[in-house]
Homo-oligomer: A and B are copies of this chain.
Amino acid sequence: MTDEPAAPDIDARHAEKMKKKKAVRDKILATKTVEKGLIIIHTGKGKGKSTAAFGMVFRSLGHGFPVAVVQFVKGAWETGERFALERFGDLVSINTLGEGFTWETQDRQRDIAAARHAWETAKDLIRGGAHHIVLLDELNIVLRYDYLPVQEVIDFLTTEKPTYVHVVITGRNAPDALIEIADLVTEMEMIKHPFRSGVKAQKGIEF
């Protein structure tokens, strides 16, 4: 609890170590010169896949860059993000086209039609090139259930996406073939979850 005493030796070693670290880092950064729109995937069973994507969306909005969001699976819970996005007015295009989680609807043909409609909208938004990021929220779920052919998505992204547009794709179970063409893939792993101890989903945290 007390302040750490001054320790000149530790401090000197630390300064030396950090100086080296900075030199290595600066050198690495100098080699990174390519600017291009990335294909980014957030997958895994843990929390934070969509939330981190929304964080990126807000970061872009902070810079004044327009952003589009296509929700492939409409969660009954995600209202906070929508309210927050609406603050940014015309900078944001929100497209909620999913029909609710599939275990809510129990109607496969309706889900397939909704997925197709969402994907056509996504293609128009990406091709249009007016948005810095196009977020395809929960697209992986739709691919997982074979509501859309993954090869069609890959073909489109690798041939028709304008170079400078970033596409962010979320959802667990990202198909391997999609991971193959992505630039940045993060897996969110659940280490501990409060549901296990009976805590319910809470406003402003889960939704």
Contacts and interface: CB of A to CB of B under 8 A. Distances in A.
A46 B49 CA distance: 12
A51 B43 CA distance: 15
A186 B47 contact: yes
Copies held by the complex: 2
Contact of A63 (B6, B14, B104, B203): B203
Interface residues of A, number: 95
A56 interface: yes
Contacts of A205: 38, 40, 56, 59-60, 133, 166
Contact of A59 (B33, B53, B149, B204): B204
Contacts of A195: 28, 32
Contacts of A185: 190-192
Given A3-B116, A189-B44, A201-B32, A38 B194 contact: yes
Contacts of A97: none
Given A82-B62, A108-B14, A184-B193, A35 B4 contact: no
21 contacts: A18-B102, A19-B103, A32-B201, A33-B198, A34-B198, A38-B194, A46-B187, A48-B48, A53-B55, A54-B55, A54-B59, A59-B81, A62-B85, A63-B79, A64-B83, A132-B204, A183-B197, A183-B199, A185-B191, A185-B192, A186-B188
Interface of A: 1, 3-4, 6, 10-11, 14-15, 18-19, 21-22, 25, 28-29, 31-36, 38, 40-44, 46-48, 50-56, 58-65, 79-85, 87-88, 102-109, 112, 116, 132-133, 146, 149, 152, 166, 179, 182-195, 197-205, 207
4 nearest interchain CB pairs? A59-B80, A62-B84, A62-B83, A51-B55
